[in-house]
């Protein structure tokens, strides 16, 4: 995404993918007060699907704790895989995709 106004198209594509692949509707969409979410088209789309939209508190980084920990886990696992196998860092993107796939398929106590 190069510009914020592209986010609506990206979200509608993701929404369609979730509907077709998993046969579910996105139940909740949490966001800050960014410009990319302030379009009326979003509110119409949320109402159409019955999606609850929640605005997160601004300037509260403690709300982002779970996302930051998950991101850190992905980055650390990617680093360890790149170092262990001695793969050049040009393949960073592919290794991140593999790591996310591995994390999602490994059985954990949370699931």
Q: What is the pLDDT of residues 34-59, one digit of tens each?
A: 666 767 888 888 899 999 988 777 66
Distance in angstroms (rounded) separating the CA atoms of residues 18 and 12: 10
Confidence of residue 75 (pLDDT cuts 50, 70, 90): very high
pLDDT of the residue at 55: 78
Whether pTM > 0.75 for this model: the answer is no
Percentage of residues in the chain with pLDDT exceeding 70?
86
Q: In degrees rounded to 5, what are phi and psi of residue 92?
A: -55, -50
Query: Residue 76 above 90 pLDDT?
Result: yes
Distance in angstroms (rounded) separating the CA atoms of residues 70 and 82: 18
> With b meaning 16 or more CB within 10 Å and e meaning fewer, what string describes 11-45?
beeebeeeeeeeeeebeebeeeeeebbeeeebeeb
């Amino acid at each position: 995404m190069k510009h914020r106004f592209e986010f609506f198209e990206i979200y509608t594509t993701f929404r369609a993918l979730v509907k077709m692949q998993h046969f579910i509707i996105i139940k909740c969409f949490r966001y800050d007060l960014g410009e990319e979410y302030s379009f009326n088209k979003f509110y119409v789309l949320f109402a159409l699907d019955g999606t609850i939209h929640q605005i997160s508190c601004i300037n509260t980084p403690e709300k982002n704790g779970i996302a930051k920990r998950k991101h850190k886990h992905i980055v650390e696992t990617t680093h360890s895989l790149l170092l262990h196998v001695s793969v050049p860092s040009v393949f960073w993107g592919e290794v991140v995709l593999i790591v996310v796939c591995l994390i999602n398929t490994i059985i954990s106590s949370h699931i």
